[in-house]
Amino acid sequence: MRLVLVGPPGAGKGTQAQFIAEHVGVPKISTGDIFRANVSEGTELGTLAKQYMDRGALVPDDVTIEMVKARLAEPDVEPGFLLDGFPRTVPQAEVLEDHLRELGTKLDVVLELVVDDDEVIRRLSGRRTCRTCNRIWHVDFDPPAVEGVCDLDGGELYQRDDDKAETVAERLRVYAAETAPLVAHYAGRGVLVGIDAMGPVDDVTQRAVDALRPFQDR
């Protein structure tokens, strides 16, 4: 199976990507993992990407695309793959489609994790990070025994700028402007399946597995 996972920040893509990939028996491929692997291995693409990452800039599309193509050429991807974090835009999706066509294959399904904006803001703005060990807690879902204090080492818990409600709202605005059109693109291709990503992690995973079953049976 060859699938792409899409959804807004805070939808739980990272968690679900791992579970779903294990269920369908394909490697999980995320842009974050690809970047880290190329940088740690000192590849030409990794060295180039690091120059942008070190100054806090976005890695250009052409560099990201070449990294993804290289990863898709590795032997473990032959049975299929789950892409998490790529493509993010319609142009990237078109490049991916062209590349898969050259390889004589195509995407089987694009799975969209659907979650309300209010829930995304609640999930992300409730996170608190330990200044000492970087362990992440949540004021609602995983609170420490003492408010503002890490259970593990007594470190101070703080809210990262990325997790502040106004920042999360801006990230959702950017998602709607840049990545949401991807959903319409794949819906037009007839490969989009949306699932409710609200509720416990296990419940969401089961919905994803159920949604993918018809594609596994093809």
Tell me if 125 is assigned to some domain: yes
Quick: pLDDT tens for 125-168.
999 999 999 999 999 999 999 999 999 999 999 999 989 999 99
Tell me if 144 is assigned to some domain: yes
Tell me if 99 is assigned to some domain: yes
Catalytically annotated residue among 101, 106, 131, 160: 160
Quick: pLDDT tens for 14-60.
889 999 999 999 999 998 888 888 888 988 888 888 888 787 777 88
Tell me if 164 is assigned to some domain: yes
User: Higher confidence at residue 58 or residue 75?
Assistant: 75
**Structural domain range at position 175:** 2-26+79-216
For strands 2-6 and 109-114, give the pairing.
parallel
The amino acid that residue 145 corresponds to is A
What CATH number corresponds to the domain at position 165?
3.40.50.300
Q: Kindly indicate the confidence band of residue 88, based on its pLDDT and cuts at 50, 70 and 90.
A: confident
Tell me if 202 is assigned to some domain: yes
Catalytically annotated residue among 88, 122, 135, 164: 88
Whole-angstrom distance, CA of residue 196 vs CA of residue 27: 23
C-alpha pair distances (Å), 218 with each of 17, 24, 161, 208, 214 = 21, 13, 45, 17, 7
Q: Is 101 a catalytic residue?
A: no
Quick: pLDDT tens for 178-189.
888 999 999 999
Tell me if 59 is assigned to some domain: no
Helix axes 61-72, 31-41, angle to 10 degrees: 90
Q: Is 128 a catalytic residue?
A: no
Considering the entire predicted model, what is its pTM? 0.86
